[in-house]
Structure 1
Amino acid sequence: MPHFNRSFELTIADIDLIESSLRETGRALADARIDAAATDPAGLPDLDARIRRVNKLLGRLHNQKTFFRPTAGTYVGG
């Protein structure tokens, strides 16, 4: 039985490209949902499920990031 690769070697640029692509897919799905609401309401559950799936994946990517704060000096967020 094949095993999944649990070690990935992705650069920050790779992750940024993946996130950008997922956001664009989410926008396209949202536009398709608006069109479907007016013309074909039967397709809404499928579009909603796909939008949720994209948003959950974006959330999982965000939760795996490590955000750093400078240790020296006063931190001013913004």
Structure 2
Amino acid sequence: MPGYNTNFELTVDDMELIEDALRTTKRSLNTAVIAQDADPLQPCESTRDVDASMKRINDLLGRLHNQKNFYRPKTGAYVSG
């Protein structure tokens, strides 16, 4: 049985595209929930499914964010802004 590839070759632009797609999906799920509140007769995914999807998207976006390397000077005090 084959295993999973643990070495990915993604560029910064690839990661940005993935993050944008996740945010767009999250926004569309949120819009569907808001539309469901406005019109209860409109068919929509169950609330639990949407909540689970939103949680998975938020967790993945958080993990992607935590893997970024932000600039910090090697010497001296860091002054933001």
Q: TM-score when scaled to structure 1? A: 0.85
Larger proportion of helix: 1
How far apart, in 2, do the equivalents of 1:49 and 1:37 lie?
Answer: 18
Q: What pairs with 1:56-75 in structure 2 (closer than 5 Å)?
A: 56-72=59-75, 74-75=77-78
Deviates more, 1:65-74 or 1:52-61: 65-74
How far apart, in 2, do the equivalents of 1:10 and 1:20 lie?
Answer: 15
Aligned residues with identical type, % of pairs = 51
1:3-61 alpha-carbon deviations (Å, 9 max, x no partner): 10000000000001100111111111111111223426871111111111111110111
Match of 1:27 in 2: 27
Runs of 4+, deviation exceeding 6 Å: none
Structure 1 unaligned regions, length at least 5: none
Q: TM-score when scaled to structure 2? A: 0.82
How far apart, in 1, do the equivalents of 2:37 and 2:51 lie?
Answer: 11
1:71 CA displacement: 2.4
Match of 2:15 in 1: 15
Report the aligned-residue RMSD.
Answer: 1.9
SS in 1 for 2:46: helix
Structure 2 unaligned regions, length at least 5: none
